[in-house]
């Protein structure tokens, strides 16, 4: 059985760039304008029931339990075993949220594994 190396097309690279920037941008928005912004935090902790407060509570519960880092690590491990654009996209999303939202250790390890997914033996030449 011949294994072909995992290579991205230019369209897939552009897709990953867009997904990465949107993910990190939304995570930065959540962190600095919802989670750490004192007036929003006080209003949400005081009982305000808006969509921003519900999203803040959901994201806070996820990063307190290291869900972003664990999911990124699982997807990255699957990507190393069987690389695909779907796993790479999912791992990039989970790791992007994890890096920005306080799950740095596990998400950093997941990014390293995502990069290792491209390390395949070179095709044999005849």
d(Cα 123, Cα 113) in Å, to the nearest integer?
Answer: 21
The pLDDT assigned to 122 comes to 60
Q: Could you report the per-residue pLDDT of 95-121, keeping only the tens digit for each? A: 999 999 999 999 999 999 999 988 876
Of the ranges 4-8, 9-13, 67-71, which one carries the lowest mean pLDDT score?
4-8
The pLDDT assigned to 95 comes to 95
- For 60, residues 6+ apart whose C-beta sits below 8 A from its C-beta are 35
Q: Could you report the per-residue pLDDT of 48-95, keeping only the tens digit for each? A: 999 999 999 999 999 999 999 999 999 999 999 989 999 999 999 999
pLDDT band at residue 7 using 50, 70 and 90 as cut-offs: confident
Within 10 angstroms of residue 17's Cβ, the number of other Cβ atoms is: 11
**Which among 86, 106, 84 has a CA at the least distance from the CA of 95?**
106
Q: How far are the Cα atoms of 7, 10, 25, 117 from residue 121, in angstroms, in the given order?
A: 12, 22, 35, 11
The pLDDT assigned to 126 comes to 56
d(Cα 112, Cα 99) in Å, to the nearest integer?
Answer: 13
């Amino acid at each position: 059985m011949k294994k072909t190396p995992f290579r991205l097309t230019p369209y897939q690279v552009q897709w990953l760039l867009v997904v990465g920037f949107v993910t990190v941008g939304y995570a930065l928005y959540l962190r600095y304008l919802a989670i750490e912004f004192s007036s929003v935090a006080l209003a949400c902790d005081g009982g305000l029931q808006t969509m921003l407060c519900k999203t803040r509570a959901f994201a806070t519960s996820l990063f307190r339990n290291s869900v972003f880092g664990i999911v990124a690590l699982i997807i990255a491990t699957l990507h190393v075993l069987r690389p695909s654009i779907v796993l790479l996209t999912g791992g990039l999303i989970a790791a992007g949220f994890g890096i920005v939202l306080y799950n740095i250790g596990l998400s950093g390890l997941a990014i390293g594994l995502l990069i290792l997914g491209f390390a395949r033996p070179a095709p044999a030449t005849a």
